Amino acid sequence: MAEPFKLNLLQRPRRLRRTPALRALVEETVLRPADFIAPLFVVDGKAPPDAIASMPGVFRLNVADLVKECRALWKLGVKGVALFPKLDAKFKDEEGTQALNEETLVLRAVRAVKKAVPELVVITDVALDPYTTHGHDGVLNAAGDDVENDRTVGILMQMAVLQARAGVDLVAPSDMMDGRVGAIRNGLDASGFSGTGILAYSVKFNSAYYGPFRDAVGSAQAAGTRLLSKATYQMNPANRREALLEATLDAAEGADMVMVKPAGPYLDIIREVRSQTHKPIAAYQVSGEYSQIQAAAKLGWLDLARTRHESLLAIKRAGANIILTYFAKDMAQALR
């Protein structure tokens, strides 16, 4: 019998993969419950949790159930939530005026959550799309064919101050208007909220992955289509250098954290932003990313637990400190 073939190798990387203990010792990226922020959808009234058809396992919650969910997340080690309201159509108009109502849904939700779980980091969205009949993130110009930048920023600044007054820890402008981070920082400081932070959606692409979210908050229904184009303010997915410019501008205007959204299809952008800033980086694993994993798992094409873990590990490995994900609760349970 011939002698078995033997390589004369000095370096054998497989040595450190031989046992679970060895693999754990050299593991470079580790996920923790504290890495996650859970996006939550809130509705008015007392109805039971309302399942979102395009987002399996995700629900719209009334304020009381939202508080219960926040308590459960905190006990699991999830340190933050991002709140998104779904308003009744009767509260929507062209100007999104309900956003400046001191008793609007999201502000009542913030006060309830902070009273029940004061240690929990509460983040609120600063954009007009949940409040407008046209579904855009700001007010439209006279022709009705584009969002008016500066007038929108003035409204967003007022929104941020109201949210700070309600008790949020971080306001999160997701609108992608030019100059809104600086205006919001100035507005917060002038109103006595210098301690309220800004998590800026700095690099938000005009992505096809947002469809289920638009169903969840009702902006697609308001606009009459889930294919609403926001190309004049959200970024071109083809652009890398522009992403770095946006992140740099927001950091210079006073953002405490910058965000890349979506996360999974833009790992290269997360890595590039990481290389140029010392600010904490958040990445949003958006509704379309979540739903496609759920759908493939339901068809038996993917292992749900392994795929969700791998997808989130990749986002953190790319350089994100914080991940907004609809898998937050399930991952926290699995990691514990």
Q: How many CB atoms lie within 10 A of CB 123?
A: 24
Cα–Cα distances in angstroms (integers) from residue 162 to residues 98, 108, 173, 192, in the given order? 12, 11, 13, 12
Does an H or E element contain 273, and which? helix 267-276
279 annotated active-site: no
What pLDDT shows up at residue 229? 87
Of 86, 92, 204, 329, the catalytic one is 204
What pLDDT shows up at residue 225? 55
The strand pairing partners of 121, in sequence order, are 80
Q: Mean per-residue pLDDT for 182-200?
A: 98
Q: Mean per-residue pLDDT for 55-77?
A: 98
- Residues 90-124 pLDDT 10s: 999 999 999 999 999 999 999 999 999 999 999 99
- Residues 266-287 pLDDT 10s: 999 999 999 999 999 999 999 9
- Residues 155-164 pLDDT 10s: 999 999 999 9
pLDDT of 226 strictly over 60: no
pLDDT of 233 strictly over 90: yes
What pLDDT shows up at residue 220? 57
Give backbone dihedrals phi and psi of 28, rounded to 5 degrees, phi first: -90, -30
- Residues 21-41 pLDDT 10s: 999 999 999 999 999 999 999
90 annotated active-site: no
Residue ranges of domains in the chain, CATH in brackets: 32-335 (3.20.20.70)
Q: Strand 50-51 vs strand 59-61: parallel, antiparallel, or unpaired?
A: antiparallel
Mean per-residue pLDDT over the chain, rounded:
96
Of 261, 279, 316, 329, the catalytic one is 261
Q: Which residues, 6 or more positions from 152, have their beta carbon under 8 angstroms from its beta carbon?
A: 128, 137, 138, 139, 175, 177, 180
Helix 304-318, helix 328-335: angle, nearest 10: 100
Cα–Cα distances in angstroms (integers) from residue 290 to residues 21, 42, 76, 309, 335, in the given order? 31, 19, 20, 12, 18
What pLDDT shows up at residue 224? 54
Does an H or E element contain 202, and which? strand 197-204
